[in-house]
Structures are given as structure tokens and as C-alpha cells.
Amino acid sequence: MSRYFISLFFIFISFVLSGQDKTIDLQPKDTVEYKQEYGLRVGADLNRLLFSFIDEDYTGFELVGDYRLTQKMYLAAELGNEQKTQTEGVGNSPLYNFTSSGSYIKLGVDLNTYENWYGMNNAITIGGRYAFSSFSQTLNEYNIFNSNRLFNPDGFLVGAQEGEEFSGLSASWLEFVLGLKVELFANIYVGMSARMGFLITNTEEERFPNLWIPGFNRVTDGSNFGVSYNYSISYFIPLYKKSKKKKDDKPEKKDEF
């Protein structure tokens, strides 16, 4: 019996000693994986909706959306329709009144330059778009300059063929976009963007130039550049999550003597 207990004692000691041979890692690596949500964000431009109510010469709407492709990159798109009536003149003398109406689509990418804390999904983006617009223009009324000032001291006569429509017009342009999106509530975002466009193509009627293009805004004589902006509210639809490991802290270098 004593031999039996002595044998068990030595077996126990051998297990203890073998366990002490294993090194203990006093600085274990952080293997926690952080899940990031990927999905589709859809919404509308508040700026165009607001001006549709307060400006009787304008109606428009724009749908906005983006899809998170990678951690920093988003596929983005805008789809809209606008109609605007405006008057052009010289000084206090109106020359013509016209209405431009049509639809447009913009496709491109956004790159998020903002480094979020864990759990945040805000964005400060730079990006680009290729845009295309199809529209028509209606010349509502116009005045003709009259060189005979004897019977017309103002120098303008009312033109004929009022309400003439020029259809089948189109334009395409590139946009540089600076944007901001902030998560106001869970999955609800507010955003704003400023855009500078450069016209690539501009199909217009010979008798009447394109002075205002839906999606591009006002066309400046002698320049292909245009400026626009939007204010949006959107909802994020999470589709799946991707794991992202937390970056390991780099060990501090010890001074060598």
C-alpha cells in the first residue's frame, strides 16, 4: 500500500514540474474582432424639397444613396428631376422668360477620410461623379431689340411664337464632391455636400442656348464650370457585418546601452 501511495506522489510531482516548464505570456495579444456594418443608405435631398415649397418658379426632388464597398470606399448615386422658370434681361429690361425641365442621374464613388471611433459611422468624404441629364426648354416669352427708337423708346418689341418648346436636349459633366454625413440617430443620417461640375457635352438648340441644366444648375456664358450643393437625410439599411481586428499596439523600443 505504501508503495502505491509513493508512486502516486511521484507521478503528481512530475505533472507539476512539467506544467512549470511552460512559459507564461504576461502580455497576451488582443484578439478581439470588431464588427463593422455594411449596407445600403438611401434618402432624399431636403434642399430641393424646401425650395419646391417656397419658390413658385421651381419644383424638384432628388433621391440619394450609397453602398459601402470597403472600409473607406462607397459607391454613390443621385437621381433627380427639376423644373425651373427664370427671366433673363439687361438691366431692368427683360429679354426672355424660359422654363427648363428634365431628369438627371449621377454615379460615382466617395472616399471617407474620417477615422471613426469604434461604433461610429460618420464620414467626411471626397469623391467624384459622372452625371447625365436629359431635358427640354420652353421659351415662354421674349422681347426683340428695336433699333427704331422713335416709336419704341425702350428699344424692345414683344416677340412672336411664345411658348415654343425645344426638346431632346442633353448634357453630361464630371463633378468633384466634398461631403459630410453624421449619424443623428440610430441608422438615420444627415448630410451635406458641395459640388463643382465641368461640362463635357452640351447638346443644345441653335436658336436658343441651354442656360439652366437640371442637376448641373446655371450655365455661365463662356465657361464649362458649374456649382451645386445638397442637404440630405437618409436611412442606413444594414445588410451584413465584416470583422476588423483591432490594431496591435507597437512595443516600445528599449534603449540600448
Residue of 210, 207, 229, 137 lying closest to 171 (CA atoms): 210
Q: Contact, 236 vs 121, CB < 8 A?
A: yes
- pLDDT above 80 for 194: yes
Q: Is residue 7 part of a domain?
A: no
How far apart (Å, rounded) are the C-alpha atoms in residues 129 and 49?
A: 22
> How many other CB atoms sit within 10 Å of the CB of residue 147?
6
- pLDDT above 50 for 249: no
Q: Is residue 256 part of a domain?
A: no
What's the CATH number where 129 sits? 2.40.160.20
DSSP one-letter string for 67-107: EE-SSSEEEEEEEEEEEEEEEEEETTEEEEEEEEEEEEEEE
Q: Is residue 251 part of a domain?
A: no
Most confident of the following: 1-5, 75-79, 118-122: 75-79
Give the pLDDT of residue 207. 82
User: Of 176 and 144, which is predicted with more confidence?
Assistant: 176
Q: Is residue 12 part of a domain?
A: no
Give the pLDDT of residue 160. 45
Range of the domain at 230: 35-239
How far apart (Å, rounded) are the C-alpha atoms in residues 235 and 42?
A: 6
Q: Is residue 28 part of a domain?
A: no
How far apart (Å, rounded) are the C-alpha atoms in residues 216 and 228?
A: 7
Look up residue 101 and give its three cell numbers: 425641365
**Least confident stretch, 20-24, 76-80, 110-114:** 20-24
Q: Is residue 201 part of a domain?
A: yes
Domain count, the chain: 1
Q: Is residue 13 part of a domain?
A: no
Name 203's Cβ contacts closer than 8 Å, sequence gap at least 6: 168, 169, 170, 171
Q: Is residue 121 part of a domain?
A: yes
- Report residue 88's pLDDT band, with 50, 70 and 90 as the boundaries: confident
**Least confident stretch, 62-66, 130-134, 198-202, 221-225:** 221-225
- Report residue 237's pLDDT band, with 50, 70 and 90 as the boundaries: very high
Residue of 77, 5, 67, 35 lying closest to 245 (CA atoms): 35
How far apart (Å, rounded) are the C-alpha atoms in residues 255 and 248?
A: 21
Question: What is the mean predicted confidence (pLDDT) over 214-238?
Answer: 92
Percent of the chain with pLDDT over 70: 71
